[in-house]
Chains A and B, each alone.
Chain A
């Protein structure tokens, strides 16, 4: 395993004034966010708020128009693979596995930054190569056991059911031994049991000393899980605080429902859940909040 639970408080991620413009559209506007080690931080906001774009800025898929991102006090270059090498790993909102590789191979690819064997080492196959390969495989198998996919190591990634594809993405991200894990809607498309299992998984990851920043539309999931929640609305950070603060804030509810509300927001939410349940074929227990992005 990696490190034991590090001292809480060290700043892992420090994003300062991140702004992303696409032509005339400002998808992210001056967002500051810090994540400290041992923390699970949630990022919520209505569809199109810029959450995924913000993630892409953090991980170097996009070069932010303004602002900088620091990981443990070093400014990150806006290059995807360098960010991963530095210690930030991520999953994708629309699953991006290597579909025609096996489950194990997917995780082994995740080990890329933590192994060194190059072309010549592969062709010559000295003892060092075999040792490194065996170690990689052992670590990958361990991670598959951790997420519960060890039995399917030899299956092709694309043949996994949906929920397991998401788990595999997490295992693949963990293989790069990150200090910070970014999860983009890890429970989208999952049933309540699977969501619960994912919750446990995220806690287990945190307990290994990995900080987690998670985007999710499932409010119950977010408020169960997160030490802190930031709300993004139209590219700007509206509010940040613990679950109670965010849940009680009228502006958040207004941002989700589109208009200010004078009465109790909880009642409005309950009404909405009822409406959603009326539409759904399979009755599921109280899935509070908005889960519209499937």
Chain B
């Protein structure tokens, strides 16, 4: 027995100064394996993976990748490219301004996860691995090899902090787990990208156009996935692929570009969104598109209230409801007690104004409350709206809303002779009913984006953020807190009401059950808030992305069934634990120049 040293060692602690990978393969070999594995992955997607077309997506054909194979092909190609770039191949350096290694790990992980998910899904669905063709085995093997190779790439290990010798066994185990976790995190962490070479303006705009086209393609693909497995595969590939691109530093460069050309980007994004109906052959996916857009627009309105002004509103969907009810009551619907048929522009004004009044009525007494109290009161008001709408049916109260049957048979809109209810042929494409509403809703979204951007970047927007950051200091800077908060509340309410007026026409029927606090179908208050938090508070892209995901996931993954809300809850907890700033962090966070150097905290003294 040799002498026991007091310095504790974790089994895989390397000698300091020589960076190694997570796996004990020599780095050059690992790099070769990752790159070669990526290339073979691409090849394997051209082989048959299974013998029967009982598994959806045509995985039985040689020489032609189908369904999930396409996703694996993309992930494999990305792995190969990043592998080549990590060798410093000329002409690929622009791809990896922040280094290729961390990105390579994510790309390989993406290829691996998608492939293995496919292989396991085939085996599980068809009953056993015998249903795999050699192509399937090959794909599984080469993606595993590529992943192992990528994980062998060296990285900067964090300083291990020594054990406390007095720790109990449990403490030691926890300590070790924390250390291992820190090591894994360091292995996957990115570095700051090297500064961007300036391009001529036209080239920068071309890059933005290309990025938008790519985004439209990815979104259209996701919305058009026809079976559960393909959508899950899409989420895996898109999520990990995006992370890989993020690690290359490319995303950072692109967001710098979009920040430089903000107006172009916003305009281009709307153009890309407007092209979406033209990519569809029937109205089926335009339906999903318009519902996503309604959800996203309302979430963006909520982001003014929650993200900018920091007011936690748990009853926001009520404002959508007020707008929808107001518009339906004046729409000429047979179940409306008012026998009027307003033109759309007037209905929009009525809807937005009704929401505004409702917002001020709720806001005026409640906005004097801070924090949790406001959340509880708004939650209560949201429910009061729904129950009132339910009771104004002629028996429990005056007949206004037709009770739980709601206002039905809302006629389609006709604006300047354009009938939204019938398909139209535009440039050889047939644009159906939902696509028509998609365009109208896109206009409303544009209004909300405009209001968000312009008000956010102005005296009033700064006052909102100041109130959110430190209400006492904001008051001491001369901001009338109550007034400013009431404006945020009223603006948010009117924008939701605006969206509600379109929603009423899209859904034909307005019932109280569409405006729950929490339910399985968005939009409801809980999902709206989740879309904001998931996407990123205080941003424009965040709620749009969050709403798209939160709409598509329950819509596409029918097999989740009753577990949908449970899965949603778990996902949200995990997100808050690992990425509290949301998928798209606020611009202000990107401005952190000295992230590593601990910012001096203000004195922890109480009292103003």
- List residues of chain A with CB under 8 Å of any chain B CB: 52-53, 56, 59, 61, 80-81, 84-85, 89-90, 92-102, 105, 108-113, 115, 117-119, 121-123, 125, 129, 132-133, 136, 154-156, 158-162, 165, 172, 176, 188-189, 294
Contacts and interface: CB of A to CB of B under 8 A. Distances in A.
Contacts of A95: 602-603
Interface residues of B, number: 44
Interface string B471-486: 0111111111100000
B588 A59 contact: no
Q: Which 4 A-B pairs have the closest CB atoms?
A: A113-B478, A122-B458, A84-B478, A96-B473
Interface of B: 450-451, 454-455, 457-463, 465-466, 469-470, 472-481, 487, 491, 586, 588-589, 591-594, 597, 599-600, 602-608
Given A109-B479, A123-B454, A161 B462 contact: no
A105 B587 CA distance: 14
B475 A81 contact: yes
Nearest to A56: B608
Nearest to B490: A119
B469 A100 contact: yes
B454 A84 contact: no
Given A98-B465, A109-B462, A122-B455, A156 B591 contact: yes
Given A98-B470, A162-B600, A189-B603, A81 B608 contact: no
Given A109-B462, A172-B477, A119 B472 contact: no
Contacts of B472: 61, 80, 96
A52 B607 contact: yes
B455 A101 contact: no
Given A98-B469, A122-B458, 8 more contacts: A92-B476, A93-B603, A100-B469, A109-B477, A110-B477, A113-B478, A119-B491, A156-B593
B599 A159 contact: yes
Given A98-B465, A98-B470, A93 B605 contact: yes
Nearest to B450: A123
B593 A159 contact: yes
A262 to B, nearest CB: 35
A60 to B, nearest CB: 8
A109 B470 contact: no
Given A94-B607, A101-B466, A155-B593, A122 B459 contact: yes
B477 A112 contact: yes
A97 to B, nearest CB: 7
Contacts of A133: 458-459
Given A122-B455, A165-B602, A98 B466 contact: yes
Contact of B473 (A85, A97, A122, A156): A97
Nearest to B461: A122
Contacts of B586: 100
Contacts of B491: 119
Chain A CB within 10 Å, residue with most, of B477, B594, B606: B477
A123 B478 contact: no
A121 B605 CA distance: 39
The interface centre, meaning the residue of A102, A112, A121, A132 with most chain B CB atoms within 10 A of its CB, is: A112
Contacts of B466: 98, 101, 109
Contact of A123 (B451, B591, B592, B597): B451
Contacts of A80: 472, 475-476
Nearest to B588: A100
A32 B495 CA distance: 51
B479 to A, nearest CB: 5
B297 to A, nearest CB: 16
Contacts of A61: 472, 475-476, 608
Nearest to B598: A159
